[in-house]
Structure 1
Amino acid sequence: MSERSPAPGGLALVESLVNTLDIESGADSLDTADGRARLGLQEDDVPRARELRESLRATLLAHAGHLPHRPVTPLGELLASAPLHVTVDVADGSAALVPADVRPLLSRVAAAVAEALVAGTWTRLKACEAETCHWAYYDRSPAGRGRWCSMQVCGARAKMRRYRAKES
């Protein structure tokens, strides 16, 4: 679990959704009314939100150079059904993709991904390589080669395991 600052822009939503499940403890905030409310979800939205969450996690693992541990619905398939609209600001001519309906999580995630693609930040959102973690984090390292959500926790554990393996 990371102590890092949230991802920029719409990626904060993606990061927040992926991090609704604490793999190590098994706690899932989508099981609580407060956890659902933070994402604007109703109880009947949870199965689709979980499917989206795990598809996003697999994609974020790929951003970090890792394969998902189980098959998931490809993110592109899920996002293909997300209704988005192009808006154009008449004052400055800027354009943006926005959700057709702000409540559905899928459309908000699709808009966030599109925004991040344009900004060049999409591949900086990653999932921690620690198998008991896979927490989403925004890689702010200069070279974009971060591997863990936290050097103090997951990074330290991995380095200690490598050190102990060398000692054996």
Structure 2
Amino acid sequence: MGDQTDLAFQKEDQVIPPALRLIRDFVNTVEFQEDDERLTSPDDLRDWLDGRHLLDPGAVATGDDLDFAITLREGLRGVLELHAGHDADPAAIRRLNDALADLPVRISFRVDEPGATEAFGLVPAGGDAVRRALASMLDAVRQSTEDGTWPRLKACARQSCRWAYYDHSRNRSSRWCTMAGCGNIVKMKKAYAARTGQSKAAQ
């Protein structure tokens, strides 16, 4: 099962668009099943953004930046849960909307790129370096919305997982990060619950 899961993730990495990869990787900076939080300090946030060339050299992240980033991350996870057809935390999405009001962005027309397929993009407009870096993710949402891939970015329906993944199935019906992993576990638990007469399968 482990090998099959690894192969599924490798296939996903081969086909996921770059804009969605950025958002997926950001949402997956925490792995709930392993209790592995990678954004535990402002320095962790700075290093993650810097590793993706989103941050100005010498920029410093603060505790407020970290809190803001985690609010943004969990709100995006809520949206991805909706993409997968299951319930999201409405409070997390409300906090996301409130946070987005504080991200400075503007439209920038790309007149210097003859033949470009996109006439404009969303770019940071002021604010400190970390907020500008986080604002760049909004353009990733815009790009994937325009090319129709945004609904394919989902969060796993297994409550203990909620891992962000790219649904590259033909009919866009995937509900789990991998069928070989969470999908099989959920189905086995539901089958066991049905056999034993339990009213609710464990997640």
SS in 2 for 1:67: coil
Name stretches of at least 5 consecutive residues in structure 1 with no aligned partner: none
Query: Are the counterparts in 2 of residues 125 and 138 from structure 1 also a CA contact under 8 Å?
Result: yes
The one-letter amino acid paired with 2:49 is: L
Please name the residue that 2:156 is paired with.
Answer: 128
The alignment yields a C-alpha RMSD, in angstroms, of 2.4
Task: Count the aligned residue pairs.
Answer: 168
SS in 2 for 1:15: helix
Name stretches of at least 5 consecutive residues in structure 2 with no aligned partner: 56-60, 197-203
Identical-pair percentage: 32
Distance of 1:72 and 1:161 partners within structure 2: 28
1:45-73 deviation digits (Å, cap 9, x = unpaired) = 21111000110000000111111246214
The structure having more radius of gyration, on CA atoms, is 2
SS in 2 for 1:99: strand
Between Structure 1 and Structure 2, the one with more helix by share is 2
Distance of 1:36 and 1:148 partners within structure 2: 30
What are the equivalent positions in structure 2 for 1:57-136 lying under 5 Å apart?
A: 57-69=77-89, 71-74=91-94, 75-82=96-103, 83-90=105-112, 91-92=114-115, 94-100=118-124, 104-136=132-164
What are the equivalent positions in structure 2 for 1:39-54 lying under 5 Å apart?
A: 39-40=49-50, 42-44=61-63, 45-54=65-74
The one-letter amino acid paired with 1:92 is: G
Query: Are the counterparts in 1 of residues 110 and 121 from structure 2 also a CA contact under 8 Å?
Result: no
- Cα distance, 1:159 vs. partner? 1.2
Query: Are the counterparts in 2 of residues 51 and 73 from structure 1 also a CA contact under 8 Å?
Result: no
Alignment of 1:137 with 2:165, yes or no, is yes
Structure showing greater relative contact order (alpha-carbon pairs closer than 8 Å, 6 or more residues apart): 1
SS in 2 for 1:85: strand
TM-score normalised by L of structure 2: 0.72
**Runs of 4+ with deviation above 4 angstroms:** 32-36
Alpha-carbon distance change, 70 to 120 in structure 1, aligned in 2, over 3 angstroms: closer
1:124-158 deviation digits (Å, cap 9, x = unpaired) = 10000000000000100100010000111101101
Distance of 2:44 and 2:75 partners within structure 1: 23
Alignment of 1:31 with 2:18, yes or no, is no
TM-score normalised by L of structure 1: 0.86
Query: Are the counterparts in 1 of residues 68 and 99 from structure 2 also a CA contact under 8 Å?
Result: no
Please name the residue that 2:178 is paired with.
Answer: 150
SS in 1 for 2:36: coil
